[in-house]
């Protein structure tokens, strides 16, 4: 894509533009099966971060940690995408709050994305800057991921609320996000990327404000690994167009540099 056309495409789409996700031909298979009671299950493999050894996971109506739909009280929607949504949920036996990600896996491409995301959470669970996965279960063509609830929501919401506040004040001045907050967010994201890139040879590929989550105690964590990939050697296009690097828009081979580019775009968006 020529530079002037690329610039116009970015301008037309804006920073929250088209999301592209293309399944990889060499992805591991997503195995659907049935247990002895006739209930549907699925299997996937991932490296356990605690032992460093690969293991197989079997997911059914009751998660490995005991989570199941009947124990959850669903609340407000926290976000949504093409294949599902994220809901606030209260675990009735413990009264704890979680973020429940619900994904419809009728489409083969969505199954691949779910598998990639589960593998990433399983393998990177020791990293403080990665959202914790507590459990996962499967009911009627839907996978439910029980995730850590980040109480401040996403960086995207923070940017939006900051801009709305300025507009309401009507001062005509355009204030910037506090430098201390911006530097803290950037530093935490960089730590997470270093962990992904150096320790796991993994590229996120969809880094954007909506996938950076914040908590009231100052925590900053990455989420949504549905299009992440290891080894960074594919020319398959995936992610959100407005945050893609020029070489990715030109169809060149993916690398970890694309995540750094996306972080730069996010910092500019926060600081503008």
Structural domain boundaries in the chain: 3-16+151-271, 31-147
- Sign, CA torsion 143/144/147/153: positive
Residues involved in catalysis: 206
- Who wins on pLDDT, 144 or 14? 144
Q: Nearest 5°: CA angle at 258, between 252 and 260?
A: 155
**Mean of pLDDT values over 170-178:** 62
Taking the C-alpha atoms of residue 42 and residue 58, their distance in angstroms, rounded to an integer, is 6
Residue 2 CA from chain centroid, whole number: 30
Per the CB < 8 A criterion, the answer to whether 145 and 118 are in contact is yes
Helix axes 257-271, 179-194, angle to 10 degrees: 170
Per the CB < 8 A criterion, the answer to whether 115 and 46 are in contact is no
Within this chain, domains 3-16+151-271 and 31-147 share the same CATH topology: no
**What pTM was computed for the model?**
0.80
- Who wins on pLDDT, 10 or 205? 205
pLDDT over 90 percentage in the chain: 43
* Residue-level pLDDT at 63: 92
pLDDT of 236 > 90? The answer is: no
Cα atoms in the 13 Å half-sphere on the side-chain side of 205: 31
Which overall architecture, per CATH, does domain 31-147 show? 2-Layer Sandwich (3.30)
- Who wins on pLDDT, 214 or 50? 214
pLDDT tens-place string over residues 211-233: 999 999 999 999 999 888 876 55
Taking the C-alpha atoms of residue 272 and residue 267, their distance in angstroms, rounded to an integer, is 8
From the number of C-beta atoms within 10 Å of its C-beta (0-12, 13-18, 19+), residue 43 rates as: middle
pLDDT of 151 > 80? The answer is: yes
pLDDT of 150 > 80? The answer is: yes
CATH superfamily of 3-16+151-271: Transferase(Phosphotransferase) domain 1 (1.10.510.10)
pLDDT tens-place string over residues 66-84: 999 999 999 999 988 777 8
The SS3 assignment for 196 reads helix
pLDDT of 30 > 80? The answer is: no
């Amino acid at each position: 894509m020529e530079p002037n056309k690329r610039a116009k495409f970015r301008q037309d789409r804006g920073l929250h533009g088209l999301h592209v996700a293309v399944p990889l031909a060499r992805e591991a298979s997503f195995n659907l099966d049935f247990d002895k009671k006739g209930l549907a299950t699925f299997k996937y493999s991932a490296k356990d971060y605690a032992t460093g050894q690969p293991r197989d996971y079997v997911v059914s109506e009751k998660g490995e940690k005991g989570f199941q739909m009947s124990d959850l009280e669903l609340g407000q929607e926290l976000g949504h995408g093409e294949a599902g949504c994220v809901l606030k949920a209260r675990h009735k036996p413990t009264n704890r709050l979680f973020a429940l990600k619900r994904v419809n896996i009728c489409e083969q491409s969505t199954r691949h994305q779910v598998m990639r995301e589960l593998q990433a959470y399983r393998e990177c669970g020791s990293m403080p800057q990665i959202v914790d996965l507590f459990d996962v279960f499967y009911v009627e063509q839907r996978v439910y991921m029980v995730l850590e609830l980040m109480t401040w929501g996403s960086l995207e919401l923070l940017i939006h609320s900051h801009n709305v506040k300025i507009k309401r004040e009507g001062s005509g001045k355009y204030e910037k996000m506090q430098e201390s907050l911006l530097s803290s967010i950037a530093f935490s994201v960089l730590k997470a990327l270093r962990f992904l890139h150096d320790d796991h040879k993994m590229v996120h590929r969809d880094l954007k404000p909506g996938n950076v989550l914040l908590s009231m105690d100052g925590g900053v964590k990455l989420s949504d690994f549905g299009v992440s990939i290891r080894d960074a050697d594919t020319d398959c296009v995936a992610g959100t167009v407005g945050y893609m690097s020029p070489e990715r828009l030109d169809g060149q081979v993916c690398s970890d540099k694309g995540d750094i580019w996306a972080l730069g775009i996010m910092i500019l968006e926060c600081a503008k």
